[in-house]
Amino acid sequence: MSELSTNVSQTTTVEEPLISPWKEGWKSFKKNKAALFGLGLVIFFILIAIFADFIAPYGFKDQQLGDKHLPPSAKHWFGTDDFGRDILSRVIYGARISLSVGFFSVVGSAIVGSILGIVAGFYGRLVDGIISRIFDILLAFPSILLAIAIVAMLGPSLQNALIAIAIINIPTFGRLVRSRVLSVKEEEYITAAKAIGMGDGRILFHHVLPNSMAPIIVQGSLAIATAIIEAAALGFLGLGAVAPAPEWGKMLSDSKDFIIQAPWTVFFPGIAIMLTVLGFNLMGDGLRDALDPRMKN
């Protein structure tokens, strides 16, 4: 009996490294110059807010009545207001307030809206109908008018403005997550999880929610820009931060009577709002292009 040859050909399979969707999204994001510019603006204002105590040349409450309405100079780069306070210092400290309101209000609305959206989309029928009607009622009112009504009931303060902004943004996140869940729950891995007896809570928070994070992050970055504008609007109307807090909208409100006499008192807070909102919008658009499969070729 002849011996079989010991030289047996072996097939080797080369596995390509798996690329995380987040890493792929970051690579796509880096190619978008406008998005990188927006990210740079956001990081710039975040750093200003964090290190305001070390960057600001003066305290935001320091008054020098003899120096009121001084134009921009080497001593006061952005000039002074009607109380002789340094506008540059107040704009720097104002970044801390505006970013905090924008971030925490969006985080709150994203958490509540996502939970309601997940429950509505996953269970459907009566639960979906009730939650969706609540969203419809909130969306029936113009957002800024609803925010004004909420703050008017709770009382003017920065904290109540934050709560109002969070409430008016809940339907946006809720409807976004609901539509995502309606799509995700029909996937085969959800059916398999149900087949092996996995509980609804585990399915929701271990499978459905992680696969719905991309649109939440994109909407969150865009919503922060909107929240900053809404906070500034409430502050301008006297329903947000109260004096002497250096909130940008409140600074515009306090300086509106001096727009001809001292235009720099309005110009620099307005520029700060514009650049911050621009940064978050550009970054949000870049995240949408990078994370949304429909935006890819």
Chain segment 230-263, per-residue pLDDT in tens: 999 998 888 888 878 888 988 888 888 888 888 8
Backbone angles phi, psi at 80, to 5 degrees: -130, 165
Chain segment 122-153, per-residue pLDDT in tens: 787 888 889 989 999 888 888 888 999 999 89
* Closest to 289 (Cα-Cα) out of 210, 217, 191, 237: 217
More confident site: 44 or 207? 44
What separation in angstroms does the CA of 90 have from each of 47, 241, 281?
15, 13, 24
Average pLDDT over residues 157-167: 90
More confident site: 269 or 31? 269
Residue type, 5: S
Measured distance CA(86)–CA(264) in Å, rounded: 11
- pTM for the predicted model, two decimal places: 0.82
Chain segment 52-101, per-residue pLDDT in tens: 889 988 888 888 877 788 888 888 899 888 888 989 999 999 999 999 99
Cβ partners under 8 Å of residue 264, min gap 6: 71, 72, 78, 79, 87
Average pLDDT over residues 36-52: 92
Q: How does DSSP classify residue 141?
A: S
More confident site: 225 or 243? 225
Range 289-292 contact pairs with CB under 8 angstroms and sequence separation of 24 or more = 289/28, 289/29, 289/32, 289/35, 290/25, 290/26, 290/28, 290/29, 290/32, 290/35, 291/21, 291/25, 291/214, 291/215, 291/217, 291/218, 292/214, 292/215, 292/218
Residue 288 clears pLDDT 90, i.e. is over it: no
Cβ partners under 8 Å of residue 294, min gap 6: none
Under 8 Å between Cβ of 69 and 39:
no
- How wide is the angle at C-alpha 39 spanned by C-alphas 35 and 42, nearest 5°? 140
pLDDT at 19: 54
Measured distance CA(3)–CA(148) in Å, rounded: 91
Cβ partners under 8 Å of residue 132, min gap 6: 120, 175, 178
Cβ partners under 8 Å of residue 82, min gap 6: 68, 69, 254, 255, 258, 262, 265
pLDDT at 45: 93
The sign of the CA dihedral 93, 61, 147, 174 is: positive
What separation in angstroms does the CA of 293 have from each of 67, 73, 210, 281, 297?
56, 50, 16, 19, 8
* Closest to 249 (Cα-Cα) out of 264, 235, 261: 235
**Can you name the residues that pair with 86 across neighbouring β-strands?**
80
Which CATH topology does 23-295 take?
A: MetI-like fold (1.10.3720)
Domain ranges of the chain: 23-295
How would residue 3 be classed by pLDDT, with cut points 50, 70 and 90?
very low
